[in-house]
A = this chain, B = another copy of it.
């Protein structure tokens, strides 16, 4: 009888994995953040063809230890300050392991009662934690890319006169071009949603931003008016609270006014910054988001929850349901459950993602999570203060959360040469190993980004970053 691997082999392997994980998470900070390998090296080190016969889990884990673990980018490293610094915290990792063992597909309440209900519960917990009113209801998607796509699909579906779900967008004289608005700092997931939804990339209006990289509402108003005059129909504005490049915050109240005026769907992308709303003193950054139709935020970004976990809150769950619900015969049940999660989006298969999030919230408590977010803000302000105090560097954007944008601008170097200098600097800093930062472009300038958000980051890591930056810049001079 074939079956699974023997119970005792599995138990042994799980205990070995437990130690591998504890060792990894506890010691990852001593490694270089990025492995010093070139494209193709991992593949070259592995057999090109699949094994004919079973191998013991012990030797697979040996290979994991030898070939895989050392050769990932160490996102769980406290010196990983590129992109957004994320963490799979202890409670979250334990939750994911259990999720894999249960292996439920929470498509229907019936197929996974505890998974469905825990998902609704933790979304309610988080809604309360971030101070949103109780008419918002949440569910969990894999990524913000999907959450935003679903939100814009619901915005499109809200054009009830057009019956787009049934008839589509093409070949219909009565369907005008549908326009969506976001700032020139908004995330590329908005572009991808436009492309996927058949709305067309050109019908995304990227509205200009002010000196602090916030959408300018008067330009938004102009763009909407222009589109209306040209026969387009504005269907949604995506406002960002915490943009990717600088964590700037769009002026949501003014944008919400325009959305109300034009009956446009207001979607808030708070994928990164949403977690900060659990600290009441940071709520002013979120002013007006309670007027949104939908809000996305990702506990896998800054709430210490392993990938993937993206929360989508909508004010009117039925609007989302009517966009996508479709129940084939084989999934009909007689249950009276309020919600079958499959009705709320594209994907039928749904992992039990709520478990890890539940364990994270309980493992740290609301106050513990607040404490960590606040510490990251403190560290970001500290780094920003060092930058501001050094005449060879400049801060390139305000620091409302925990991301610091800066560049090297040594005396006597022409503006035209600074981009190249900073590109060289980041390469040198990252090559040292203990920290990894990324870059962006602001107002046409090459700018360095240090994202602080890993649960194990300490002041020492920030000092190390600053030391690297200063030493490497001195060496380049």
Contacts and interface: CB of A to CB of B under 8 A. Distances in A.
14 contacts: A3-B455, A4-B89, A17-B97, A42-B113, A43-B120, A46-B121, A53-B368, A73-B111, A83-B105, A149-B196, A167-B203, A168-B200, A189-B348, A307-B351
Copies of this chain:
2
B146 A347 contact: yes
B26 A169 contact: no
Given A349-B143, A349-B308, A88 B114 contact: no
Interface residues of A, number: 178
A172 B199 CA distance: 11
Interface stretch (A262-270, A285-293, A334-342, A407-415): A334-342
A284 interface: no
Interface stretch (A217-225, A437-445, A464-472): A437-445
A199 B171 CA distance: 10
A51 B94 contact: no
Interface in A152-209: 153, 156, 164-173, 175-178, 187-189, 191-203
A60 B164 contact: no
A57 B4 contact: no
Given A153-B196, A363-B55, A101 B76 contact: yes
B330 A449 contact: yes
A282 interface: no
Nearest to A114: B71
Given A42-B117, A50-B366, A172-B177, 11 more contacts: A3-B455, A10-B90, A14-B22, A60-B358, A72-B102, A88-B102, A165-B200, A168-B177, A168-B199, A173-B173, A188-B326
A49 B125 contact: yes
A23 to B, nearest CB: 9
Nearest to A15: B18
Interface string A225-240: 0000001100000000
B169 A441 contact: no
